[in-house]
């Protein structure tokens, strides 16, 4: 009986130590995602619906918004980029609405800067972990269709990952996958962010 109690205590201690280590690791991953989020501004374009035509329109609107926003953000730091985007929201909405009208639709378009939760997203040349990011959100019509996500600052959506030069070395490695095991890390960050969202 005494031996059994000792075994249970050892097992409970090992479990508690393992849980504490997991929490510390998850907290460190969360801090890493927060640091990355402080260096980028995401782009979130939401289609009116999932119809083929509305999804095609979403991509045309995306291109128009990026073409209007990107030149104004060249050479800026993130805070300056946020201020510039804030000042140009109506111009960006006009650029999007122009495309919508030219394609024969009368959907309203809203453009805003807001905090949003994003899932882990992988692109051709880079990936970003799940978490809270400041986003330039473009909603077309009712916003009932699938999304399109990328990064408006630094302008990662307009070219290759060479444009990640504006990020520091650690975060550049994180988005480009230059560090081994980054997919596992992103999954761990996503689990941690989902747990935080569930209990907050």
Task: Report the distance separating Cα 82 and Cα 77, nearest Å.
Answer: 9
**Among 30-44, 162-176, 185-199, the least confident range:** 162-176
Residue 162 has pLDDT above 80, yes or no: no
From 119, 126, 117, select the one nearest 157 (Cα to Cα).
126
Would you say 32 and 19 are in contact if contact means Cβ atoms under 8 Å apart?
A: no
113 forms beta bridges with 136
Q: Which residues contact 27 (CB under 8 A, 6 or more apart)?
A: 192
The alpha-carbon radius of gyration of the chain (Å, integer) is 21
**Among 2-16, 130-144, 159-173, the least confident range:** 159-173
User: How does pLDDT run across 73-103, given as a tens digit for each residue?
Assistant: 888 999 999 999 999 999 999 999 999 999 9
Task: Report the distance separating Cα 131 and Cα 154, nearest Å.
Answer: 18
Task: Report the distance separating Cα 33 and Cα 30, nearest Å.
Answer: 5
What pLDDT score does 190 carry? 54
What pLDDT score does 21 carry? 47
């Amino acid at each position: 009986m005494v031996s059994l109690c000792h075994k249970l205590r050892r097992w409970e201690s090992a479990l508690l130590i393992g849980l504490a280590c997991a929490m510390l690791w998850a907290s460190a991953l969360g801090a890493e995602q927060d640091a990355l989020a402080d260096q980028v501004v995401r782009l979130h374009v939401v289609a009116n619906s999932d119809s083929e035509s509305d999804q095609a329109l979403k991509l045309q609107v995306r291109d128009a918004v990026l073409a209007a926003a990107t030149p104004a953000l060249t050479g800026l730091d993130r805070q300056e980029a946020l201020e510039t985007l804030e000042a140009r929201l109506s111009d960006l909405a006009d650029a999007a609405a122009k495309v919508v009208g030219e394609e024969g639709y009368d959907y309203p378009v809203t453009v805003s800067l807001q905090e949003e939760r994003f899932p882990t997203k992988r692109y051709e040349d880079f990936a970003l972990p799940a978490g809270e990011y400041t986003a330039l959100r473009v909603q077309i019509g009712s916003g009932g269709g699938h999304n399109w996500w990328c990064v408006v600052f630094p302008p990662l959506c307009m070219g290759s990952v060479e444009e990640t030069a504006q990020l520091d070395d650690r975060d550049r490695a994180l988005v480009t996958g230059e560090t081994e095991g980054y997919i596992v890390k992103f999954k761990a960050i996503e689990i941690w962010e989902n747990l935080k969202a569930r209990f907050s």
